[in-house]
Amino acid sequence: MGAKDDYSLPSHHRMDEIGSSHGGSVEFRPFKRWFPWLIPTFVVANVALFIATMYVNDCPKSLSKVAMVEGASAHKCLFRDQLGRFSFQPFKENPLLGPSSATLLRMGALEGTKVVSGGQSWRIFTCIWLHGGVFHVLANMLSLVLIGIRLEQEFGFVRIGILYIISGLGGSLLSALFIQGRISVGASGALFGLLGSMLSELLTNWTIYENKLSALTILVIVISINLALGVLPHVDSFAHVGGFVAGFLLGFVILIRPQFGYINNKTAPPRYRVAKKRKHKIYQIVLLVVAASVLIAGFVVGFWVLFKGVNVSEKCSWCHYMSCLPTHRWSCNKSPKTCLTSQYGNNLNLTCEGTDKMKTYYLPDPNASDTIYQLCADLCS
């Protein structure tokens, strides 16, 4: 992004000095630089939760139960000999090298139907700390380090922490509104919120940047490429868009900078001061008020529609193309892995709602909900 201008003051005045004061003046930074600790903490928390998820998953144990029910040999867990209970689900079940859908659901993954009819609204928050596999968590954490540390250095942990959480919630909300019956996890909504805030920060602080057009062009290209990747299958584009919009709007509110003329006048010795300078431009205040109003209204309306039980995807005939654009190379048929069940003692009848496939199983433990969920996933795959 474009570098901000530096100003020099007389040698007897200091403000966040950089380098030496030889020559009668000092170079200074008009804005404080923060030490980034929150973003690394978020990275550690996400990785730790992924490890905990793999511990809970215990692929060898869970697949042995499924194999016992199906009367077949267990699918081999990936890297079972090396990782033991931390080994990954079979590649055809989870190509990201991670846990089963049942484990993610138990750990707090987002599923719209459970949020609406199950009273589990906490999933809107917990899902942003979970990841579907090694590739998923590595890609997200690398992006978080590259984007988040620079922002935390510039604006501090409070504002960036708020941005991260609100953007993540915005992504979860839009995902829950449009995708019901399938689970969603990941910090992508929060990451896209940070990208969106970088764009709004550039726009609202436009007058204090050098090379602003080149910075804007690069940022728009990066954002466009990342959003375009959302049309690939198995990517929750709604979380990306929801997080981006929330971060973009919130950036106008909490990343607003005072004008350099105001800072220069405020910090200068009395004899150097001129008429009172305005702290913010009029357009900055207008953007702040409009963005805050739209953001609050969006969350209020979004949650109201969600808890009314409205399936927004049924009201919008073209919105599913935002999540997956069908081509001759891949299909966008993402039928929910949900099954109709009927149980008589230890006998379980499953019917996959997406494919109408039916099968009967004998369950040693008729209350093994995780095993039933896994059997449903296998039947629908």
Residues with catalytic roles: 188, 240
For residue 38, give both structure tokens. Answer: 């929150």
What is the β-pairing status of strands 358-362 and 347-352?
antiparallel
Which residue in this structure is represented by tokens 């940047």? 209
User: What is the four-CA torsion angle of 205, 211, 216, 221, rounded to 10 degrees?
Assistant: -150
The sign of the dihedral angle between the CA atoms of 371, 372, 376, 379 is positive
Tell me the C-alpha distance between 31 and 347, whole Å: 68
Crossing angle of helices 237-254 and 212-228, in 10° steps, is 150
Which one-letter DSSP state was computed for residue 354?
T
Burial class of residue 64 in the structure, from the number of CB atoms within 10 Å of its CB (0-12 exposed, 13-18 middle, 19+ buried): middle
Q: Which DSSP string do the residues of 1-55 spell out, in sequence order?
A: -PPBP-EEEETT--SSEES--TTSEEEE-SSPPPP--HHHHHHHHHHHHHHHHHH
Exposed, middle or buried: residue 245 (CB in 10 Å: 0-12, 13-18, 19+)? buried
Q: How far apart are CA 179 and CA 232, in angstroms?
A: 15
Residue 298 CB coordination number (10 Å): 17
Interatomic CA distance for residues 188 and 166, integer angstroms:
12
CB atoms under 10 Å from CB of 192, counted, come to 31
The upper half-sphere exposure of residue 353, i.e. CA atoms within 13 Å in the direction of its Cβ, equals 10
Place of tokens 């913010």: 280
- CA distances to 54, 71, 136, 245, 294 from 252, rounded to whole Å, are 39, 59, 30, 11, 11
Query: 32-55 burial, b if ≥16 CB within 10 A, otherwise e?
Result: eebebebbeebbeebeebbeebbe
